[in-house]
Chain A
């Protein structure tokens, strides 16, 4: 995989996601489409296993740094780890099933993005809930967050559909050279 292209696309998508955050926020309730999860899914579908996992960690760490958590004392904390581990889990899920997927179909990216986002967000909610069991410096409502993040995962399907066109067009520049055994067709290189 061409890491420079990956870094550039990630950089642009993080910028676009932050800029569009207030506009694409469905109902002002923190439900918003992710641009990063479709990228993660796309990379996990095509890239070699190890590179896909490192990509997931990098994207997750950046997402953690851009998601300040409210503390009870009125401050903010940047908790590195929950998104990184959540994205890694989502990446693992995609890696596990990618052999039996029709990868050139945009709908594959849409469905896998929604499923991957669900998995990642459940992991994020679980980790934050776990850390709040002890000393409780963060303002955190697990149920509320789960609902909000589940709807965000569904909404991510829309952004995945739009981004799939761009990703498939850019696929050659990513320079994926992985041999993925497929179930129903010839091995894809």
Chain B
């Protein structure tokens, strides 16, 4: 032991001190660790990816409506897309009406954004309810890019972008931010009630909704769609589906404000085989090699 070179003898204490410093260092000083993360993913994925695919084959992830045939699912998906477009247009209409009102007062115009959608596979799930997807700066992704599944089901936001991979935090992750949402009280969306949803960490979100009177039946809310209506999210993401109300939790102290438990239409967001990224087309230089599947004004 005494004949070992100094560097060998001190390597362990130095490493421990270094790890302590790194563990407590401010985040802005350890941004370089994402490069090592990207290399780790490249190394680990050749094992994780085939096993994940095999598991998906053995136990397929549950689809939104399992009993339906392929054609029925296609039609349901189409209805969902059109409903989303309709609600987006309604919301846009309301917003424009407000804008017209603001114009008259001399307010500035908010520029409207085009959106391009990129279809990309999920590579793997990571710890803390995050997903790794096979795209990155090469496709023009940035932190905050909106990620959806099945065209309208909101999945989450991109939290970290590397050259060829990106990390997505799901809306259901415990560490995800709260979301302002609106509950559609009828199919037309003419009656809505807003609520603040907090992720629970078990794949659901919880929030409180107020009813105008005690006569309104809370049971009618079960199964109702909940959609995004949050200024913290981009304009093009408004009215995307967050999920449906799974159950109502009694709130004895406030009978007019009950807690709703919302679950995304896809049962387990961590197991989606592929995702769609919604990128603002304007000012986007990187064309990428991805398959563009459509654009929404």
Q: A: which residues have CB within 8 A of B?
A: 11-12, 14-16, 18-23, 25, 27-30, 50, 53-54, 57, 61-62, 65-71, 74-82, 84-85, 88, 127, 130-131, 135, 137-139, 141, 144
CB pairs A–B below 8 angstroms (8 shown) = A14-B47, A20-B55, A57-B15, A57-B19, A62-B40, A65-B36, A71-B159, A76-B169
Q: How far is the CA of A135 from the CA of B29 in the complex (A)?
A: 13
Across the A-B interface, give the 10 residue pairs with the lowest CB-CB distance, nearest first: A15-B47, A81-B23, A70-B175, A19-B51, A76-B159, A76-B160, A15-B48, A18-B48, A78-B33, A139-B175
B52 CB-CB contact with A under 8 Å: yes
* Shortest Cβ gap from B146 to chain A (Å): 12
B-chain residues with CB within 8 Å of residue A141 when the two chains form the complex: 174
The number of chain B residues with a CB under 8 A from chain A is 54
With A16-B47, A30-B129, A78-B30 already in contact, 19 other A-B pairs whose C-beta atoms are closer than 8 Å: A11-B44, A14-B48, A15-B46, A15-B48, A15-B51, A18-B44, A19-B47, A19-B51, A19-B55, A21-B125, A22-B268, A23-B59, A29-B202, A62-B40, A68-B160, A74-B177, A79-B30, A81-B19, A82-B23
Q: How far is the CA of A70 from the CA of B177 in the complex (A)?
A: 10
Q: B: which residues have CB within 8 A of A?
A: 12, 15-16, 19-24, 26-27, 30, 33-34, 36-37, 40-41, 43-49, 51-52, 55, 59, 124-130, 143-144, 157, 159-160, 167, 169, 173-177, 201-203, 268, 270-271
| B23-A88 in contact (CB<8A) | no
Residue of B nearest to A137 (CB): B27
Given the interface contacts A19-B55, A57-B15, A69-B128, does A78 sit within 8 Å of B47 by beta carbon? no
